[in-house]
Chain A
Amino acid sequence: DAGVIQSPRHEVTEMGQEVTLRCKPISGHDYLFWYRQTMMRGLELLIYFNNNVPIDDSGMPEDRFSAKMPNASFSTLKIQPSEPRDSAVYFCASSPRVAPTLETQYFGPGTRLLVL
């Protein structure tokens, strides 16, 4: 298996622009997670899905952030409009369906976002 795939790996954009981050989870995994990592706040869970349905989005910073999972093999995290404080590394992770192993998360390589 190729593991969790994220694109792009690096993104540089200007303040006010729309940014879309993409994730392909490991095939057969029913859970998908989006995290943000910064020096100041560490690793923060933004939102997670179970069977394509958002379960907990309490970590989404504000309305500028939105996430979708239209099918089992694809998810997007969108920031519109982007701001410099959104600069961070964004990770996607997925988990298999069977407890307790569903607790084990497999991370993608991350997208490094810089908003100028």
Chain B
Amino acid sequence: AQSVTQPDIHITVSEGASLELRCNYSYGATPYLFWYVQSPGQGLQLLLKYFSGDTLVQGIKGFEAEFKRSQSSFNLRKPSVHWSDAAEYFCAVGAGGGSQGNLIFGKGTKLSVKP
């Protein structure tokens, strides 16, 4: 069965520091992978997605993620964190292989940013 693991429940970084949020997936075929962000009291917003091709994908707000098949990972990175990045981040895998549209979400990683 498909699954997504986000090992870190809560991460705190200083403003201006680099960030990496981890995501591991379990999926039998080539996965469709996503990162969503949820600001406090808001809905989920798509940051970036990977379907195929270049394994380093760029997203909005200066985020990027790298798909590593050998490690079953899709870690999210940002070189310099801003205070406005404080939010909860969800990794997700497409469970239907493009045919069903269903997504499996991880439990989320809450990011706090220190001034």
Q: Which residues of A contact B (CB under 8 A)?
A: 4, 31, 33, 42-43, 45, 48, 50, 55-56, 91, 93, 95, 99-110
B44 touches A107 (CB 8 A): yes
A110 touches B43 (CB 8 A): yes
Contact with A99, one of B98, B103, B105 (Cβ below 8 angstroms):
B98
A105 touches B101 (CB 8 A): yes
A55 touches B100 (CB 8 A): yes
Chain A interface mostly: strand
B51 touches A105 (CB 8 A): no
> What size tier do the contact residues of chain B reach?
20 to 34
Q: Is B90 an interface residue (CB 8 A)?
A: yes
Chain B minimum-CB-distance residue to A110? B43
CA distance A97 to B94 in the complex (A): 14
Best-surrounded residue of B52, B90, B96, B107 (most CB of chain A within 10 A): B96
Known: A43-B90, A43-B108, A100-B51. A107 touches B101 (CB 8 A): no
Q: Is B14 an interface residue (CB 8 A)?
A: no
Contacts of B32 in A (CB 8 A): 100, 103
Chain A minimum-CB-distance residue to B96? A103
Closest chain-B Cβ to A7's Cβ sits at a distance in Å of 13
Contact with A42, one of B43, B45, B101, B105 (Cβ below 8 angstroms):
B105
Chain B minimum-CB-distance residue to A91? B43
Contacts of A33 in B (CB 8 A): 101-103
Chain A minimum-CB-distance residue to B44? A107
Q: Is B46 an interface residue (CB 8 A)?
A: yes
A104 touches B46 (CB 8 A): yes
CA distance A50 to B100 in the complex (A): 9
